């Protein structure tokens, strides 16, 4: 029990900020604290499953699962609100809510939003969350080769989007939201 507690404490202290940022980009700052707490609750319950080298990928895999569960819950809640009272949808909070002062960043965000949600997710995990190919592979439950290939393809699509004229935003790309299954 003491070893598990020490391992948990180390994971928490070393990765809390990165997990919080990961959650905040996906569920907004209002809910990021709760999502991060949920992540570390799962980590505590499953601490015996962790191996030293795979800690970061395993941790972000749990974070991804927590975020996906929150999105599903939010969608169910919105459907219930519509059925019960027709109150509509509250505005979704995402990266586009944040005021972007840097013109280059704004251009990249516009191009990123035109990509498929799966491409958005892998680029965000790689660039903003600074996860390695093996960590992304573990978080997504795919092989390292598949993760590297998806990162490469998503970067090519982003480069094309940056070089093209303004195009409509991908219909499912309001926030940076991963799809359940991707090719």
**Residue-by-residue DSSP string for 54-95:** GHHHHHHHHHHHHHHHHHHHHHHHHHHHHHHH---PPPPP-G
- What per-residue confidence (pLDDT) applies to 131? 86
pLDDT at 80 over 80: no
- What per-residue confidence (pLDDT) applies to 183? 37
Lowest mean pLDDT among 51-65, 88-102, 103-117, 151-165: 88-102
- What per-residue confidence (pLDDT) applies to 180? 44
pLDDT at 15 over 90: yes
Q: Which residue has the tokens 């935003």?
A: 169
When comparing pLDDT for 177 and 123, which is higher?
Answer: 123
pLDDT at 56 over 90: no
d(CA 9, CA 19): 14
Q: Are 153 and 122 in contact (CB under 8 A)?
A: no
When comparing pLDDT for 74 and 31, which is higher?
Answer: 31
- What per-residue confidence (pLDDT) applies to 153? 94
pLDDT at 171 over 80: no
Surface-to-core class of residue 150, CB atoms within 10 Å of its CB (0-12 exposed, 13-18 middle, 19+ buried)? buried
When comparing pLDDT for 109 and 160, which is higher?
Answer: 160
Task: Compute the average pLDDT of residues 9-24.
Answer: 94
pLDDT at 41 over 70: yes
pLDDT at 166 over 80: no
Q: Where are the alpha helices (DSSP H) in the chain?
A: 2-27, 29-45, 55-85, 103-113, 117-123, 133-140, 144-163
When comparing pLDDT for 22 and 168, which is higher?
Answer: 22
d(CA 103, CA 113): 15
d(CA 123, CA 175): 13
Q: What is the pTM of this model?
A: 0.54
In the chain, the domains with their CATH numbers are 1-98 (1.10.1740.10), 100-166+177-183 (1.10.10.10)
Q: Kindly indicate the confidence band of residue 14, based on its pLDDT and cuts at 50, 70 and 90.
A: very high
Other CB atoms within 10 Å distance of the CB of residue 102 = 9
């Amino acid at each position: 029990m003491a070893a598990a507690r020490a391992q948990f404490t180390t994971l928490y202290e070393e990765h809390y900020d990165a997990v919080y940022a990961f959650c905040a980009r996906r569920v907004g700052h209002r809910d990021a604290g709760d999502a991060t707490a949920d992540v570390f609750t799962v980590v505590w319950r499953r601490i015996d499953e962790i191996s030293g080298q795979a800690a970061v990928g395993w941790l972000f895999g749990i974070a991804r699962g927590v975020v996906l569960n929150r999105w599903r819950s939010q969608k169910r809640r919105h459907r219930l609100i519509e059925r019960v009272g027709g109150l509509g949808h509250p505005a979704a909070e995402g990266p586009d809510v944040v005021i972007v002062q840097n013109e280059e960043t704004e251009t990249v965000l516009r191009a990123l939003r035109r990509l498929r949600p799966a491409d958005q997710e892998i680029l965000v995990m790689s660039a903003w969350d600074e996860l390695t190919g093996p960590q992304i592979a573990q978080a997504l439950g795919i092989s390292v080769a598949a993760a590297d290939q998806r990162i490469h393809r998503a970067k090519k699509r982003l480069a094309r989007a940056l070089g093209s004229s303004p195009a409509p935003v991908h219909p499912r790309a309001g926030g940076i939201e991963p799809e359940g299954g991707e090719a």
